[in-house]
């Protein structure tokens, strides 16, 4: 005989493997528990007549336990598949739990509602686009990067070797030692000629563009200078010789007399040029005044012994 009160007194006061106690409440971890709480009404071990609703792979089932099958643990729970239609599933619960307690009926229906709701949410999430997290394999990436670098180096070597061989074949270093297809050799030569022609054309185009740009810049500068000369007008006063300038001029003449014939000729030319410039400077000029200084090397003065 199964005594529910005796079982509950032992479970409640002593040990139960499904019981987990917190500061505020006791919980039950048994998979057949209706509410998840550890109390007298919802304990599946201390109730000989018990029912619950469970979900397996998206399908809801009604599990029922009666006292008549307590002696046969293999057939203790009766399993009834519930319909996917919510109203039909509710009717099935009502039909199978006709003479059962109202508490068990109500909790089974609440559990069915909760399970159907989270199944609907799961289906919606499955239909939506989801981000797929892909792990980054660092070692494989490093290995592939190294292989790519090695392949690039090998390709450069192959191209260099091919060019060297073509140059040697052009020069005729090998002569008639090797029997190679003449078509392939001619095709390679044509490809090289085409590449050389393309490079020459590109260089010519760049040079022409550079020359055109330089010509344009020069024209723009000339136009700018011409505009500046036309627009900018400066008025300057007459040039008057001061007394200091005349004294310097007399001293220079004295030095010139004591110098040699060659230096006198050169200085005479310079003095003529300075004299010819002085009357020109007196004229009114439209441009700013420019002063030009000429430096001449004169021989040192020699003492005349009487």
Using the predicted structure, report yes or no on whether residue 232 has a pLDDT greater than 70.
no
The whole-number pLDDT of residue 297 equals 67
Kindly report, residue by residue over 275-289, the tens digit of the pLDDT: 444 444 444 555 666
Q: Could you tell me if 194 and 202 are in contact, meaning their C-beta atoms sit under 8 angstroms apart?
A: no
Of 62, 55, 116, nearest to 86 by C-alpha is: 116
pLDDT band at 177 (very low <50, low <70, confident <90, very high): low
| End-to-end Cα spacing for the chain | 168
pLDDT of residue 146: 92
Lowest mean pLDDT among 41-55, 68-82, 159-173, 265-279: 265-279
Evaluate whether 43 touches 28 at the Cβ level (below 8 Å).
yes
**Per the structure block, which two tokens stand in for 275?**
């004299």
The answer to whether the beta carbons of residues 37 and 25 sit under 8 Å apart is: yes
The CA distances from residue 156 to 99, 151, 170, 187, in Å, are 89, 9, 21, 20
What was the pLDDT predicted at 108? 93
Residues 213, 217, 218, 221: what is their CA dihedral angle, to the nearest 10 degrees? 170
DSSP string over 1-39: ---HHHHHHHHHHS--TTEEE-SS-EEE--TT-SSSB-S
pLDDT digits 0-9 by tens, 29-75: 999 999 889 988 889 988 889 999 999 988 999 999 988 888 888 88
DSSP class per residue in 215-258: HHHHHHHHHHHHHHHHH-----PPP---HHHHHHHHHHHHHHHH
- Average pLDDT over the chain reads 76
pLDDT for 253 equals 54
């Amino acid at each position: 005989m199964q005594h529910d009160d005796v079982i509950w007194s032992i479970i409640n006061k002593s040990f139960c493997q499904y019981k987990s106690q917190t500061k505020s409440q006791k919980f039950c971890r048994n998979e057949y528990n209706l509410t998840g709480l550890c109390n007298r009404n919802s304990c599946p071990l201390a109730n000989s007549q018990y029912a619950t609703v469970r979900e397996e792979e998206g399908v809801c089932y009604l599990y029922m336990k009666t006292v008549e099958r307590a002696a046969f643990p293999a057939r203790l729970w009766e399993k009834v598949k519930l319909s996917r239609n919510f109203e039909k599933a509710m009717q099935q619960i009502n039909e199978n739990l006709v003479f059962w307690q109202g508490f068990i009926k109500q909790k089974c229906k609440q559990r069915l509602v909760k399970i159907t709701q989270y199944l609907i949410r799961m289906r919606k999430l499955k239909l939506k686009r989801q981000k797929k997290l892909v792990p980054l394999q660092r070692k494989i990436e490093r290995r592939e990067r190294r292989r790519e670098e090695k392949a690039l180096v090998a390709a450069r070597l192959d191209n260099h070797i091919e060019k060297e061989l073509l140059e040697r074949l052009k020069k005729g270093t090998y002569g008639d030692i090797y029997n190679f297809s003449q078509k392939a050799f001619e095709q390679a030569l044509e490809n090289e000629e085409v590449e050389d022609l393309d490079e020459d054309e590109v260089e010519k185009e760049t040079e022409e563009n550079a020359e055109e740009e330089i010509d344009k810049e020069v024209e723009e500068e000339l136009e700018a200078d011409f505009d500046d000369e036309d627009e900018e007008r400066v008025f300057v006063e007459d040039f008057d010789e001061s007394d200091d300038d005349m004294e310097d001029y007399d001293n220079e003449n004295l030095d010139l007399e004591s110098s040699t014939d060659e230096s006198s000729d050169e200085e005479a030319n310079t003095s003529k040029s300075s004299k010819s410039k002085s009357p020109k400077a007196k004229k009114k000029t439209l441009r700013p005044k420019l002063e030009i200084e000429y430096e001449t090397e004169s021989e040192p003065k020699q003492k005349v012994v009487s």
